[in-house]
Amino acid sequence: MQTRLRLTPDHIAHVHRDIPDPGPSLLEGFRPAQDADYDAEIDRLLAIAPTPGDLWVFGYGSLIWNPCYPFTEQRTALAHGWHRSFTLGWDFRFRGNQQTPGLMMAIDRGGQCKGVVHRLAPDTARAHLDVLIRREMSMVPTAFPGRWITVKTEAGPVCALTFAMDRNSPRYIGGLTPEATADVLAKACGFKGSMAEYLHATVLKLEELGIHDSYLWRLQGLVADRIDAARLGVRPDA
């Protein structure tokens, strides 16, 4: 069994491009989120929070390795009925561009997903939620709205805020094979970095936490193969 990542910092360096922030690239029917939108979303989430004053956030992707808030406790957590998938398209700004658009990760219905939960301090929870919502909701309507889900932890179940894919959104990209997904991830780069970098950081942190995601593990190998093939100017094996 392979125990070391095939995808390496050398692969990431090959894909990386210094790209200035081009600003929002909006689909028809979308607009940039504004302060009033962020305030309204926070109010909505707090109003339906099942345990007011005890707020947890479930991270399955970049929040695992790059949380944007301080937290008072972290636990590994398992979400039943959800799985990680690169289904949020298309990204022409953050980790993709007009020539090589990116696919971002969300959780989609079905299966299970192991990640982490972070507990927010009650007295500063709203301020930290504001930072989180601004990071996750760049446009309206959002393609992966915040929702509360129950996850299992070693200390018992908790209800946590997460961001799940809305399959009715025009930004939902479903049905891609791992090979087709890897074709995208191996090329896409935006002003925040490459999709290869995002994938590498996520898999690396999950493995450090003792969480092995077979889907992401396969993807990182496929992406490494495609970057190697691009270096050599040959077609990668599926």
The residue annotated as part of the active site, out of 41, 136, 154, 208, is: 136
Specify which residues 122 forms β-bridges with: none
Cβ-contact 11, 196 below 8 angstroms: yes
Tokens of 64: 């695992």
Q: CA-CA distance, 201 to 54, in Å (whole number)?
A: 29
Kindly give the pairing relationship between strand 139-140 and strand 158-163: unpaired
Catalytic residue check, 136 = yes
What is the C-alpha separation between 88 and 127, in angstroms, rounded?
26
The amino acid at residue 186 is A
Active site residues: 136
